[in-house]
A = this chain, B = another copy of it.
């Protein structure tokens, strides 16, 4: 399963980068290969055009990695287990468009295996104690276009429904709960899907989970690119841009204060630049800033404070 899923995300990275380069029109991804001293490594692909560039994406990354070795102590604690060996691979992406009318997007699909260390020492082949999938995709607009929110969620729902009609409502709810900036009492964005610890059970074999997770992965470009196409040439003012940069501050707050994936990476010797590629390029913090009553900015804040059903 691990080889099969890693082959899938390698191919998916190629597809997604090609799709994004096509919609960007000018900027190309640069690639950095890296190795993890303790085992494994990754292929980081970053796109950066900057605020003055002509491309759509001011900054973003589409990264894959596959790491293995002794389970770090921080992870032992997180999973409530003792010493073990592990393998983890996944694709993570974040895209920060320059135009405030185009939403930021995040997605991640990952697979995890944990082995009984003693068994692998005695028999020579590792015994899998646990294996699971996790991931999802979610949208963070700066200006709310209901049409876009519905399209994104409908694409998520269509992918889910092919596997189980209960998945979309369940993982949509989990997404709203996970990407919650509790210190601000608001969501990071308008959500999408979030699932974790997807393990074999009576309904779903690991093969079934593989089919589900790759279905969601395959839906990403369809969920996001039409939104980019619709909004990338809209005009915007310096005030729109300021609002975007202030909202990006909330994105930074979530990723550095609450996001388990980011904190996990920072505390377990991950490659810092690959982890923090998720941070937006230009950000503002303004003291006690609030959207004006009745403004289109406030319309966004209202749905962030009270997540709604888009379908």
Contact = CB atoms under 8 A, between A and B. Distances in A.
Nearest to A272: B183
Contact of A281 (B46, B277, B281, B285): B285
Interface residues of A, number: 30
Nearest to A30: B287
Interface stretch (A84-92, A101-109, A204-212, A251-259): A251-259
Interface in A200-245: 245
User: Interface on chain A toward B: helix, strand, loop, or mixed SS?
Assistant: mixed
A249 B285 CA distance: 12
A263 interface: yes
Contacts of A183: 266-267, 272
Contacts of A196: none
Interface of A: 32, 46, 48, 59, 61, 183-184, 245, 249, 252-253, 256-257, 263, 266-267, 272-273, 276-277, 279-288
30 contacts: A32-B288, A46-B287, A46-B288, A48-B286, A48-B287, A59-B285, A59-B287, A61-B287, A183-B267, A183-B272, A184-B272, A245-B282, A249-B279, A252-B252, A252-B256, A252-B283, A253-B256, A256-B256, A256-B257, A257-B263, A257-B266, A273-B287, A273-B288, A279-B285, A280-B285, A281-B285, A281-B286, A282-B283, A283-B283, A283-B284
